Amino acid sequence: MYKYSFPADLETMALTTSVERDRANAAEKALTRVAIAGATGYAGQELVRILARHPRVRLTAAMSSGATSAPRPLPALARIWDGAVQPLDVDRLVNEADVIFLALPEAASAELAPKLLDRGVRVIDLSGAFRIRSAADRERWYPATTALPEGTVYGLTEGHQAEIRTARLVSNPGCYPTAALLALEPLHRAGLLTGPVVVDAKSGVSGAGKTPSERTHFSENHGSVAAYAVFQHRHTAEIEQELGAAVTFVPHLVPLDRGILETIYGNLKPGTTEQQVADALTAAYADAPFVRLTGGALPEIKHVAHTNFCDIGWKVDQERHRIVLVAIIDNLIKGAAGSAVQNLNVMLGLDERTGLL
Ligand SMILES: NC(=O)c1ccc[n+]([C@@H]2O[C@H](COP(=O)([O-])OP(=O)(O)OC[C@H]3O[C@@H](n4cnc5c(N)ncnc54)[C@H](OP(=O)(O)O)[C@@H]3O)[C@@H](O)[C@H]2O)c1
């Protein structure tokens, strides 16, 4: 029969509790401290959602623009992250985090990132402020960015892990360029493409951020599809920079809340076979956990919504040397918050999938 020994049990309990407390403290200390500026935006809220559940980090601060002085909760994230969003505070960011995510308008990132880097923290910036290397192109598309800080790396994770691992500032790729580059880079590198490439892209409305405009207003967007910014979109410069080739990029707004589908039209060098196309893509993504090749079964936005996957399918017309690729991502995950966390994992030497699968 169980005999209750009061003092001995209490002693054991106290010991166990202190061992457990020490273990918990040690585990807490082993976590990397991360913080988010722009946590109330569409991309920022996705970051909170992912980082709050990431097993190797501790989310220490989530900040808004500072336009409101009172801390506020994020109702959609209750029980996922129960902290309060604070107004932007640079000192707090630097004191409370080792890696800081910026999910801000690019002018705000252009101003803030160099200050954070000067104070010794690492930064992952989701805006376009630091993506363009040519000063002339940067002045045209991102005039608020006067220079690229030392240690800035363009952060398309796939194939760029070595640079990202040691970067001080990871400039996360744009949403449209992510899908276009993942589809095109392996074929371009293998020398299979020739002549013009057309990237015909469709995006859900969250790509424009949370501030409503006439174009993104429900009654304008619902029941319609519109091309916009033809020859005027800064993602053209980004795709061309990274691909090293000219593209015609035409974005469209479609009445979806999230997701990007790109239909990419290209010409293959005469003699290129369907097998060569498949081999180039398969070799490029053999070790890429978030790129799923679907071959002739063309992917749809619903297959990747709310995930960090990029699905790529293709059709080849061997006789006429034509290729059509279809690449899809969730603009807020693989196009923003998910790839930013994928980059964080690489920076910390973790498995790329940590917290994302
Ligand atoms: N949406 C996408 O699909 C997507 C994809 C890839 C990259 N991006 C890039 O990621 C960044 C964030 O995009 P988003 O769509 O999440 O934007 P958003 O919904 O408009 O959110 C912007 C966030 O920045 C804060 N903010 C605005 N002005 C600020 C300032 N001057 N100083 C400090 N904080 C400020 C806002 O705080 P308040 O709530 O206080 O206003 C909000 O938290 C942008 O640079 C965008 O280009 C977006």
Helix (H), strand (E) at residue 96 = helix 90-96
> Residue 307: what pLDDT?
98
Residue with tokens 């994020």: 74
Residue 175 designated active-site: yes
Q: Whose Cα sits closest to atom 3 in ligand 1?
A: 207
What is the whole-number distance in angstroms between the Cα of residue 311 and the centre of ligand 1?
26
What is the whole-number distance in angstroms between the Cα of residue 120 and the centre of ligand 1?
23
CA distance 230 to 250: 6
Q: Whose Cα sits closest to atom 47 in ligand 1?
A: 127
Query: Which is the closest atom of ligand 1 to the Cα of 87?
Result: 40
| Amino acid sitting at position 95 | N
Which CATH number is associated with domain 175-332? Answer: 3.30.360.10
- Give mean pLDDT, residues 106-122: 98
Which CATH number is associated with domain 9-173+336-347? Answer: 3.40.50.720
Mutate to test the pocket of ligand 1, among 104, 109, 116, 343 (most ligand atoms within 8 A of CB): 104
The 10s digit of each residue's pLDDT in 226-285 is 999 999 999 999 999 999 999 999 999 999 999 999 999 999 999 999 999 999 999 999
> Residue 8: what pLDDT?
55
Count of CB atoms within 10 A of residue 355's CB? 21
Confidence of residue 330 (pLDDT cuts 50, 70, 90): very high
> Residue 21: what pLDDT?
78
> Residue 23: what pLDDT?
74
99-102 and 193-203 strand pairing: unpaired
Q: What is the percent of the chain with per-residue pLDDT over 90, rounded to a whole number?
A: 87
pTM to 2 decimals? Answer: 0.94
The alpha carbon of residue 137 and the mean position of all alpha carbons in its chain are separated, in whole angstroms, by 22
CA distance 71 to 232: 38
| DSSP assignments along 295-342, one per residue | ETS---GGGTTTSS-EEEEEEEETTTTEEEEEEEE-TTIIIIIHHHHH
Report domain extents, the chain.
9-173+336-347, 175-332
CB 21, CB 43: distance < 8 Å: no
The 10s digit of each residue's pLDDT in 122-151 is 999 999 999 999 999 999 999 999 999 999
The 10s digit of each residue's pLDDT in 69-96 is 788 888 899 999 989 999 999 999 999 9
Mean predicted lDDT score pLDDT of the chain: 94
> Residue 13: what pLDDT?
58
> Residue 4: what pLDDT?
41
> Residue 15: what pLDDT?
57
What is the whole-number distance in angstroms between the Cα of residue 277 and the centre of ligand 1?
38
What tokens does 349 get?
């030497």
The 10s digit of each residue's pLDDT in 3-53 is 444 455 555 656 567 778 777 777 777 899 999 999 999 999 999 999 999
Is residue 106 lining ligand 1, measured as CB closer than 6 Å?
yes
Query: Which is the closest atom of ligand 1 to the Cα of 67?
Result: 40
